[in-house]
Structures are given as C-alpha cells and as structure tokens.
C-alpha cells in the first residue's frame, strides 16, 4: 500500500514538491474525507482546511498511520504540539506498518516517518516552518 503524505523533512526546510496526480474519480472518496487531498492541502499551506479533513478521516479510521502523521503535522503547524505528539505516537503504535510515499518522492515506512516527526517536533522545527511561512504570507499581501 502506498499513500501519498506530506514529506516531513519538508516542513522545516524544503519547499513542498508538486502534488502527485489525483486518483481517478472512481477511486476517490468524498473530498472532505480524502486524506490524499489533505496532503495536498497541507502542502499548499492551507493547514486549517487540511485539519478538518484529517480529523474526519481519523475519526473514520483511527488506525490509519498516514492520516495520523498528516494530522500531527497539521496540529504542529497550528501550534498544538500536545495533539501533534499524540497523533505521531498513535501512528508509531499502529499495528500495521505501511510504506508511504512522501511528497518529495521518497518511500519510507510509517513508523520511521512517525519517529522523524516526533524528533522534528522536539527540536521545534514545525514552529520554525510555521513562522517562516507566516512571514512569507505577510510579505505577499
């Protein structure tokens, strides 16, 4: 199983890569429940919109490691480090380890990605990325 998620090394230092092509309409669920769409929404910097989608997807399947990792990223970007940490730990504890494809095209397993996210959170890298993005947004106005 390969799920596209937001690359983690990413939020801190690298600009997001272009989003992969959307799955065919027949394979898509409703947009508000599509975790792949949330990855693209996160990549585009629309964290609040992504958060709503991810919370709904997580409620539907609380053991989806990809959704939990993206949910953690969204919480971290919103400044809610406690909920971000919980989401990353839940992803780490998922019984099923899945191979994930990050936005920069690298493949890795969900546990490795969850551990990396926790380390980034501890180092404050999500805060730095959010502050940087906010400054860019303010200059663009």
Per the structure, the complete domain to which residue 29 belongs is given by: 2-140
What is the average pLDDT across 106-117?
A: 93
Q: CA nearest 68: which of 53, 48, 54?
A: 54
Q: Can you give the pLDDT at residue 27?
A: 37
For residue 79, count other CB atoms closer than 10 A to its CB: 11
**Phi, psi dihedrals of residue 16, rounded to the nearest 5°:** -65, 145
Structural contact between residues 110 and 66, judged by C-beta atoms closer than 8 angstroms? yes
More confident residue, 12 or 5: 5
CATH value at residue 48: 1.25.40.10
Q: What is the DSSP letter of 98?
A: -
Question: What's the total number of domains in the chain?
Answer: 1
Count the helices and strands in the chain (H runs, E runs).
7, 3
More confident residue, 33 or 93: 93
């Amino acid at each position: 199983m390969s799920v596209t998620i937001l690359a983690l090394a990413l939020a801190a230092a690298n600009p997001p890569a272009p989003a992969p092509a959307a799955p065919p309409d027949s394979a898509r669920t409703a947009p508000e429940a599509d975790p792949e769409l949330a990855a693209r929404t996160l990549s585009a910097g629309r964290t609040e919109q992504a958060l709503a989608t991810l919370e709904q997807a997580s409620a539907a399947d609380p053991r989806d490691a990809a959704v939990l990792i993206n949910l953690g990223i969204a919480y971290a970007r919103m400044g809610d480090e406690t909920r971000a940490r919980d989401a990353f730990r839940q992803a780490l504890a998922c019984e099923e380890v899945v191979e994930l494809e990050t936005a920069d095209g690298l493949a890795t397993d969900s546990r490795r990605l969850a551990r990396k996210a926790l380390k980034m959170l501890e180092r404050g890298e999500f805060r730095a990325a959010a502050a940087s993005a906010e400054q860019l947004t303010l200059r663009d106005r």
